[in-house]
Amino acid sequence: MTVAYAPGKVILFGEHAVVYGQPAVAVPVTQVQARATVETSPEGQGITIIAENLKQSYSLEQAPPDDALRAIVVSTLEHIGVGTKHDLTITISSTIPIARGLGSGAAVSTAIVRALGRHLGHPLSSQAISNLVYETEKIHHGTPSGIDNTVIAFEKPVYFIRDRKIEIFSVKSPLLLVIADTGIASPTRIAVTHVRQAWEREREKYEELFDEIGTVAEMGRQAIERGETETVGRLMNENHRLLRLLCVSSPELEGLVEAAREGGALGAKLSGAGRGGNIIALVTQETRSRVELMLRLAGAKGVVVSEVG
């Protein structure tokens, strides 16, 4: 049996604007993960996919062509050049909440590609994995920027600009993040579509906001590389203000962002597509417990602490 894992991720700076060519900064979150196992099945059984969290089990042949798990299995086998005539059982499980901006779809796909590649004696590079996962992200997201598959396949902090070579960068002083869940599922495709419609109506206004977000992301990367943690926090607050102007916040996200700041966070913002999903708060060892408590009191459904760098 072959086992492979992939982490979740959060976007520190630049979501939404990244779809329009601006830079964004994302980091892996290893406290949550997707797991895929591949086992050889008895001859003639074909490929079976077991999605444990969804309590589903089906054969590759039965799955509709737009099934994201089927798509990643087929494209991986085609990439390796071995076709789909195999007898395999692929089992997937994940501790990453679905549709909360933590990259669950990309992580599940990444774990599958890794496990299949290794099982068939054909391990794939991070770039090859990222490219394959990007294709299935289109099923989940419509017009993904590519940031999720990149940060998850490389498992490193990334400075990402659409259609450019990725830049992996170093974190001078580790960042302590509290990630808190509104408990509200928010499909990325819907939030991205709403932003697109708003941009089509008022191009100038939205392009200015995208530019401002891009500047914040660039400054954010520099602050992280220099270890200027307080500046990172301030820039997170500024990024959140701009995301509100894009209309992707929600009362629940606002409640959690406020609670984190009241608890003493250096900065807090929604992370990912918005409307629901998670907020991230930058804390210190001293403020960490108070911020966690404030977030729980404000109704956070799940709180994860992650150290980056």
Q: What is the C-alpha radius of gyration for the chain, rounded to an integer number of angstroms?
A: 19
**Which residues ranging from 169 to 188 are in contact with ligand PMV (CB under 6 A)?**
188
Of 36 and 248, the one with the shorter C-beta distance to ligand PMV is: 248
The residue type found at 82 is V
Residue 213 binding ligand PMV, by CB under 6 A:
no
CB 187, min distance to ligand PMV, A? 8
**x/- letters, 86..125, toward ligand PMV (CB under 6 A):** ---------------x-x----------------------
End-to-end Cα separation, the chain, in angstroms: 32
CB 248, min distance to ligand PMV, A? 8
Residue 145 binding ligand PMV, by CB under 6 A:
yes
Residue 16 binding ligand PMV, by CB under 6 A:
yes
**Which residues ranging from 274 to 293 are in contact with ligand PMV (CB under 6 A)?**
277
Residue selected from 60, 92, 116, 192 as contacting ligand PMV according to rule CB under 6 A: 192
- Contact footprint for ligand PMV (CB under 6 A): 11, 15-16, 18-19, 101, 103, 141, 144-145, 147-148, 188, 192, 272-273, 277
